[in-house]
Structure 1
């Protein structure tokens, strides 16, 4: 027996003064209402109502229980109303984890536009390139870039992420334009520490396997630093276009060996549950899905090296 339903039946009988009227109010049969109350009394080991063929009267224990039951049911109904309001009008704190470089370049306007549409949602955006545990650390959503492995989490792809090999025109004038993969052995390479060699594309495996000039290798776990080093003539980089887009649009960097461009990665919104998803989470995912465009705006007008 559902204790809440039994409690509602008892309160309805006391309020309406009879089982038949309570049954009409609850849209149940009088027999079921009577059964609910009887089961409640059995569980409490206390008589709550005195029944005669003509009327129903409340006992002293029933009177005390009635007061508390009303408060409990009122609290439950208020909570249900509040949660229903959250589903209809999203509000509350939305905690998001996002990669550092992507968030710095492409999430400020997204969050601002989202909150213009949903002003009751407070966004707590935390930047980190590590793989956070969204359940343990209390995040509603984590944005991740890569080729995701299967897991118990739900992942929604937001945008494709191109990764290109590029260098500054000044660097290429001095060191020459690579025409094939083997030409890279003569070049300086600025290495991203988190590059995944399992990602599809020959160029990933080649860059990982080949030995470049030891004195010229620059390693960093931050793509923005590597892009700035490449602009300054430090060497070749293999970076996502969402990081290098400004430099590629202005010609400070140019794409080399475009025929070896690896398969795109993905930007994913990862969250814990598909069912009973809080409305603030669903609204943010839906808002973000088409926000960046297809293809994303940062992939427009990318400059390639002449005769590449």
Structure 2
């Protein structure tokens, strides 16, 4: 039997002075209310109420129990109300994990815009290109770039991530511009640590064979590789959110215009769908609509 329900029934009997009035207040039958109180007395091995055909009176033990039950139920109601208010009011510290280059280049404005809407949310941003365990590390939301894999985590698509094959004009003048993906094997390649060596290219939406590239410099930061390419270090395959500005300014040139590596996606990843904290739900909803299908870095 639910102890909270029996306590509520006992309180109603004491407050109303009768089982019948208590039953009307609780929308229960008088027999069920009486059963609840009797169960409490059996459980406590103490008489809480004196019953006669005319009235119900509270024993000394019953009065003491009434006061304690009343306080317990008040505390419980206040706790539930505080949790409800917390869920309705977007506040607290939001811990976000995001890729280093993307976070440095493109998250500052988003975070400022988000905080303008939700000024009571404090943001703890952790930039890393390694794949963190968001549950173990206490991360509320992780922004991840790649292909969606089967996982117990929840993932929502934010925006497409296009990859650009490019090099500096000076490099291409010195070593020549490749006209097919196969010719990339003859060039200096600046490799991102966490990317696959084997890239699949699309030629006018038709899949061609995979291409394995030899790398001369490997680094775990895309901005460093982009800067190395600007200085003539070789060819890079990097997201347009890194290379777009340099391409627009002529510091890098996109090559193999008929070919393009298959696009990736950026996702907002979080642990639970049920009882999702309002700060997490609000941020996910915000970031999912923020960049759109053609993000601003692809509009150069």
Q: What TM-score, normalized to structure 2?
A: 0.91
Does the 8 Å CA contact 2:188/2:235 hold for their aligned counterparts?
Answer: yes
Distance in 1 (alpha carbons) for counterparts of 2:11 and 2:200: 65
Residue 134 (structure 2) aligns with: 134
Distance in 2 (alpha carbons) for counterparts of 1:45 and 1:242: 72
Residue 10 (structure 1) aligns with: 10
Residues 33, 90 of structure 1: alpha-carbon distance in 2 compared, 3 angstrom cutoff: farther
Q: For structure 1, which runs of at least 5 residues remain unmatched after alignment?
A: 302-308
Q: For structure 2, which runs of at least 5 residues remain unmatched after alignment?
A: 203-207
Residue 189 (structure 2) aligns with: 189
Q: Displacement of 1:45 after TM fit? A: 3.0
SS at match of 1:124: strand
Q: Displacement of 1:44 after TM fit? A: 2.8
Does the 8 Å CA contact 2:230/2:252 hold for their aligned counterparts?
Answer: yes
Residue 93 (structure 2) aligns with: 93
Residue 34 (structure 1) aligns with: 34
Residue 258 (structure 2) aligns with: 259
SS at match of 2:36: helix
CA RMSD of aligned residues (A): 2.0
Q: Displacement of 1:210 after TM fit? A: 4.0
Question: Which deviations, in whole Å up to 9, do the C-alpha atoms of 1:5-35 show, x marking residues without a partner?
Answer: 2222222222222222223333333333223
Residue 107 (structure 1) aligns with: 107
Distance in 2 (alpha carbons) for counterparts of 1:63 and 1:9: 14
SS at match of 1:237: strand
Residue 305 (structure 1) aligns with: none
SS at match of 2:191: strand
SS at match of 1:97: strand
Q: Displacement of 1:268 after TM fit? A: 0.7
Mapping 1:47-196, distance limit 5 Å: 47-196=47-196
Residue 291 (structure 2) aligns with: 292
Higher strand share: 2
Q: Displacement of 1:251 after TM fit? A: 2.2
Q: What TM-score, normalized to structure 1?
A: 0.89
Structure 1 stretch displaced more, 38-47 or 168-177: 38-47
Q: Displacement of 1:226 after TM fit? A: 0.4
Residues 285, 55 of structure 1: alpha-carbon distance in 2 compared, 3 angstrom cutoff: same
SS at match of 1:107: helix
Structure 1 stretch displaced more, 56-65 or 235-244: 56-65
Residues 268, 211 of structure 1: alpha-carbon distance in 2 compared, 3 angstrom cutoff: closer
SS at match of 2:152: coil
Does the 8 Å CA contact 1:147/1:199 hold for their aligned counterparts?
Answer: no
Residue 245 (structure 1) aligns with: 244
The number of aligned residues is 295
Q: Displacement of 1:200 after TM fit? A: 5.0
Residues 92, 29 of structure 1: alpha-carbon distance in 2 compared, 3 angstrom cutoff: farther
Q: Displacement of 1:189 after TM fit? A: 0.7
